[in-house]
Structure 1
């Protein structure tokens, strides 16, 4: 029986009042499974040996697995909690916290900040849903995997466009050029992601490299900004210190995920805590927060510049 509550039989002694040793068979629930007990489609990482929810064939049972400690629990909740947090920020941070500070703020400023928050929310929620529902069945796992990758594409796209806008807020021709470039790359990534071959476990390093390349395409607008406005101007407009840290966290997470560090060196030791996918999730959350810092810093720079505030005042504000 393929179920989250698959059972096994065992014999237990019972008394009959005459002292005779009788036995009866009882059903014993088994919630978690080992790697070798999984169907082939579910065998993705052979360095994670235990703690699996076996295929459920039930959406309700997938939801119930949220309350069972397993090797996907950390993956689910790191991104679920972060997604909800970004959604709450989207509802109030710009209009209640940031935008009222600058009378020069426009509806576009409001929209661009929320555009990034929406992308972060969408990516993290897609990831959480994938890790919750992928054990339903093979077809469901493949479908949710594609949703997960699409969420990553959305996050990268929203991240790029938000910084391009603030980097070239007074040169919209550059904004349009790099936005078209970003959308073109996002479309190419989408075509690859929707390919069933791309989703195979053997292509894990390729997937990691593909998304790294898409993310690093942000070097082009940053370089153009430095050429256009000089090093100091380009760095201030896009808050390069935060972007640099963000890139480090994203790349490190992708490499750790792609090469399955540390479980490939110590199989079975990091089944529930500390395996590569969990580390990747944590680093993604940190990187997304650093990007939010960059977006808000760029927003402050733009309106401080428009209001004639000097660099010292800007730094003290942020």
Structure 2
């Protein structure tokens, strides 16, 4: 019995020892896995990167390399050398999304006819329709010589007649209740109100907005594609390939759609030139996207060629701008929009130059790994250029809404 009890005791002790050893091994293994995960998702230096992630040899550290998709997505909230690349264009995307919503809601209503002066109301109106309306009441004029004089100048009735003459004409056309028992101010106010009511249906509807919103869509697509590319490219070689293609397509889309508002609104009354310029830049954008799909296009040695290709797309916009200035040099809106376009070109040009030359990190490798390197500056300049073009687009809309062709 003693031997049996001793054997059971020894067996129990061995089982306990085995269990403790197993638990110890499990604990050690768990700690090892946690430590491996911690080490595995640490940021690495440039020389530790796989070939497909090596793009800028002047940024030496803080790289993510082949992380699982969950960790990649969560890294948007951590610090690494792509953090500001992601956020500069992600914030830009939300800025343009807000501007698009605001423009869609407010811009069609910015012209309030009741707040305009009489000459502005007349300029907004379709003058031939206003002429037809006024001629129906011309017999009410007390002085027939004025009637014949106005009929003879009927081709350009309103432009050739002074504001006061038009006021006298309208005064005679208004209901008789406005001719008596009113002060001059009340009479003029009532006259303006009747004038507005008469002309409001004759004012041309706002021009089409699709070229403007095509540009806004291109800008948002470019910014979101760029932000997504910088966030996800470190996951794998295949993901990097897909994201870079998306990024290049976004850049081509932004440049192409940037042409639409100036070309369409400048040449909306010249269909041949409008279709010529818009067709050219659209085809050029498609060819650029197709060329960017070639695997060799993403190699670091092609950085300058990439920048030059997109820069060339932008420079091709000089022709329609010069053509616009030739046709509308006497319109202040043409000069105003050209100023915005020159500023936009300056932002894009400096951005492309910084991107291609890798300034300032080439001057001090390693010092701009987290903040201040060329790609971040390029992103900021792209957002600034796109916003400048948005401001030019508003001028185009107001110009064509007010004056048509």
Fold agreement, TM-score > 0.5: yes
Q: 1:267 aligns with which of 351, 365, 371?
A: 365
> Are 2:83 and 1:73 equivalent residues in the alignment?
yes
Alpha-carbon distance change, 206 to 298 in structure 1, aligned in 2, over 3 angstroms: same
How many angstroms apart in 2 are the aligned matches of 1:84 and 1:53? Answer: 26
Taking structure 1 as the reference length, the TM-score comes to 0.83
How many angstroms apart in 1 are the aligned matches of 2:335 and 2:276? Answer: 17
CA contact (8 A) 1:238 1:295 kept: no
Alpha-carbon distance change, 234 to 228 in structure 1, aligned in 2, over 3 angstroms: farther
Aligned to 1:295: 393
Q: Structure 1 unaligned runs (5+)?
A: 1-23, 308-318
> Are 2:305 and 1:224 equivalent residues in the alignment?
no
Larger Rg computed on CA atoms: 2
Tell me, what secondary structure is at the counterpart of 1:32? coil
How many angstroms apart in 1 are the aligned matches of 2:314 and 2:238? Answer: 29
- Runs of 4 or more, structure 1, over 4 Å off, are none
Aligned to 1:113: 212
CA contact (8 A) 1:160 1:218 kept: yes
Aligned to 2:106: 97
How many angstroms apart in 1 are the aligned matches of 2:332 and 2:278? Answer: 17
CA contact (8 A) 1:226 1:234 kept: no
Aligned to 1:157: 256
Going by fraction, where is helix more abundant, 1 or 2?
2
Tell me, what secondary structure is at the counterpart of 2:81? coil
> Are 2:117 and 1:88 equivalent residues in the alignment?
no
CA offset at residue 226 of structure 1?
A: 2.3
CA offset at residue 105 of structure 1?
A: 4.6
CA contact (8 A) 1:238 1:298 kept: no
> Are 2:56 and 1:45 equivalent residues in the alignment?
yes
Taking structure 2 as the reference length, the TM-score comes to 0.66
Q: Which sits farther off after the overlay, 186-195 or 98-107?
A: 98-107
> Are 2:378 and 1:280 equivalent residues in the alignment?
yes
Q: Structure 2 unaligned runs (5+)?
A: 1-27, 112-202
CA offset at residue 304 of structure 1?
A: 2.8
**After the TM superposition, which residues 117-136 of structure 1 pair with which residues of structure 2 at under 5 Å, given as runs?**
117-136=216-235
Aligned to 1:192: 291
CA contact (8 A) 2:85 2:379 kept: yes
* Greater length-normalized contact order (CA 8 Å, ≥ 6 residues apart): 2
CA contact (8 A) 1:63 1:133 kept: yes
Tell me, what secondary structure is at the counterpart of 1:108? coil
How many angstroms apart in 2 are the aligned matches of 1:40 and 1:115? Answer: 37
> Are 2:162 and 1:63 equivalent residues in the alignment?
no
CA offset at residue 68 of structure 1?
A: 1.1
How many angstroms apart in 2 are the aligned matches of 1:124 and 1:104? Answer: 35
How many angstroms apart in 1 are the aligned matches of 2:51 and 2:288? Answer: 27
How many angstroms apart in 2 are the aligned matches of 1:107 and 1:297? Answer: 13
How many angstroms apart in 1 are the aligned matches of 2:389 and 2:272? Answer: 23
How many angstroms apart in 2 are the aligned matches of 1:133 and 1:150? Answer: 16
CA contact (8 A) 1:76 1:129 kept: yes
**After the TM superposition, which residues 298-317 of structure 1 pair with which residues of structure 2 at under 5 Å, given as runs?**
298-306=396-404
Going by fraction, where is strand more abundant, 1 or 2?
1
> Are 2:341 and 1:243 equivalent residues in the alignment?
yes
CA contact (8 A) 1:167 1:234 kept: no
CA offset at residue 104 of structure 1?
A: 4.1
Aligned to 2:352: 254
CA contact (8 A) 1:225 1:234 kept: no
